[in-house]
Structure 1
Amino acid sequence: MSATESPAVLPHDIHGSGPHRVIALHGWFGDRTSFRGLHPYLDADAFTYAFPDYRGYGDARDLTGDYTLAEIAGDVIALADKLGWDTFSLVGHSMGGTAMQRVMLDAPGRVRKLVGISPVPASGVPFDEDGWALFSGAADEPGNRRAIIDFTTGSRLPARWLDEMVAGSLGNSAVPAFRAYLDAWARTDFHAEVVGNTTPALVIAGGLDPALSPDVMRATWLEWYPNAELVVLADAGHYAPAEAPLALISQMERFLAA
């Protein structure tokens, strides 16, 4: 966040009215609507969920900024303050999984639990030259977006679904934000700050995700967080909220309620 820019209160949905408050952070290809397929099956009596859009996404598509993890964290903390939530848990999908760790560090003592869904580690993600060309080119090339989604879901899902994911991504994000957030999640390494952190963490990995695989989770999250637990959804790739919503909710709410 630039020195002159104060946090924004992000557009958000609230679901449920339970005592355990949870803020859910979306991934690079989604906005807050990525989680709407989960809403009917969430435990609205036990939890209150807030689902925000980042700057440059969804209803915040025209809200400009630096598009960094620190900026997301400042905005999420400002949302928690506006809601009057002194403590809360965090759910983060993919890019949201690294952003939630920045929130935890920047709001010490306030975060109860972390749930990462195919979460990017705090070390970022290494790319070879071809991989970086594919991902960095995705800002301007819909075909790149489709190839990434297909690859990270095991190249097994219907063409109509892939097309729908790409169309949603194009419609719900501003190109400059989408491109800048790639650097934020892939090339921001703050893992030294999380090593040994005792916040309870559940890491949910898709067995068919070749990029942020269960092995990647074991080598990062489970090494750095002493109270981390790994669950593998064998029949899901990178997009468990769409691919395996009921299994995802069951694991997520079991952990949050424990």
Structure 2
Amino acid sequence: MSINHQLIGSGPRNVVVLHGWFGDHQVWEPVFPLLDQHMFTYAFMDFRGYGPARGVEGLHSMNEMAADAIELADQLGWVRFSVAGHSMGGKAAQRVAIDGGPRVAAVVGVTPVPASGVPLEPEVRAMFAAVPVSDDAARAVIASSLGAQPRRRELVECILQQQRSTTDPVAARDYFHAFADSDFSCEADLLTQPLLVLVGEYDVGISEAFVRATFPQIYPHVEIEQIPGSGHYPMIETPTALVAHIERFLLTHG
């Protein structure tokens, strides 16, 4: 199966980039003009059920997401590569590093879900579960992840439109369980690659406090950095700062 993706750059350092729950790889578009295309080659991938891969059948599991990312690297002829992922895709990136082993040079999680999943109170869980079919639920989830971000209302509608225009509702339902409920933290010692986790100043869902209380317990070697002025979507909110953090880390470790 051909894995849908968009290539940016032609540099010697290869990076597979994974999107989150709300929308396909196009959520990363604001960073495209800012990338160092001479030092890096980026492959922005679509998970099954998203964008051009919307009709591709699958289990919509973390294992499948990671397997597809590694298959994409195979199709591109990449013997060694780094992986970056946003939110749900940040959790998948951890799975890629575990399954890919020494092929994976470094890992960047952008406001990522940890390998252990996300504990949700019943009312919050019900709101997340309704996202695939309810615009009001989707708006509430997006707004909560942006916190006190100054452009909050505008961003909510932008992200909602991205999700509705690119995402299969059945796949979104399955992926909710994949990122919230699956737990592979028992395999965390297999992730030995350099790991950077980026958190948004305003992010309430994957807050800096949550990240600092969770990730070092799973990955003692993790590096954690805050992106000022951003909520859960720094590729939209603060793309210049996000690229600077990612490329600085990958130039050192990738």
Distance in 2, Cα, partners of 1:158 & 1:101: 29
* Counterpart residue type for residue 89 of structure 1: S
- 2:67 matched residue in structure 1: 74
Q: Alignment partner of 1:21: what SS? A: strand
TM-score (norm 2): 0.96
2:239 alignment counterpart: 245
- 1:228: how far off? 1.4
1:160 CA drift (Å) = 3.2
Alpha-carbon distance, 1:139 to partner: 1.0
Matched residue, 1:235:
229
SS at match of 2:60: coil
Name the stretch that deviates more: 215-224 or 78-87.
215-224
1:92 corresponds to which of 81, 85, 91: 85
Q: Secondary structure at the match of 1:49?
A: strand
Alpha-carbon distance in structure 2 between the residues aligned to 1:224 and 1:166: 32
Residue 189 of structure 1, aligned match among 183, 196, 207 = 183
Q: Compute the TM-score of the two structures, normalised by the length of structure 1.
A: 0.94
Instruction: Report the 3-state secondary structure (helix = DSSP H, G, I; strand = E; otherwise coil) of the residue aligned with 1:198.
Output: coil
CA gap 1:207/1:155 in 2 versus in 1, 3 angstroms: closer
Aligned partner (choices 173, 176, 197) of residue 203 of structure 1: 197
| Structure 1 ranges of 4+ moved more than 4 A | none
Q: Which secondary structure state, in structure 2, belongs to the residue aligned with residue 139 of structure 1?
A: coil
- Residues 1-258 of structure 1: pairs in structure 2 closer than 5 A: 8-156=1-149, 157-195=151-189, 197-258=191-252
Report the alpha carbon displacement of residue 148 of structure 1 after superposing the two structures with TM. 0.8
Give the unaligned 5+ runs of structure 2: none
Distance 1:185 1:24 in 2: 17
**Cα distance in 1 between the residues matched to 2:108 and 2:40:** 14
Amino acid at match of 2:30: G
Code of the residue aligned with 1:100 in structure 2: it is: A
Q: Structure 2 vs 1, CA of residues 125 and 151 (structure 1 numbering), >3 Å: closer, same or farther?
A: same
One-letter code of the match for 1:225?
Y
Paired residue type of 1:26 = H
Q: Which moved more, 1:220-229 or 1:235-244?
A: 220-229
Q: Secondary structure of 1:85's partner?
A: coil
Task: Please give the alpha-carbon distance, in whole angstroms, between the structure 2 residues aligned to 1:203 and 1:160.
Answer: 26
**Equivalent residues of 1:207, 1:233 under 8 A apart:** yes
CA distance in structure 2 between the aligned counterparts of 1:173 and 1:167, rounded to whole angstroms: 10
Q: Which moved more, 1:109-118 or 1:195-204?
A: 195-204
> Which structure carries more helix by proportion?
2
Give the drift of 1:162. 1.6
Coordinate RMSD, CA, aligned: 1.2
Q: Which runs of 5+ in 1 are unaligned?
A: 1-7
Structure 2 residue identity aligned to 1:38: V
Please state how far the C-alpha of 1:165 moved relative to its aligned partner. 1.3
Aligned partners of 2:20, 2:145: CA distance in 1, in Å? Answer: 13
Which amino acid in 1 is paired with 2:61? Answer: T
Shift of the alpha carbon at 1:158? Answer: 4.3
**Paired AA for residue 208 in structure 2:** P
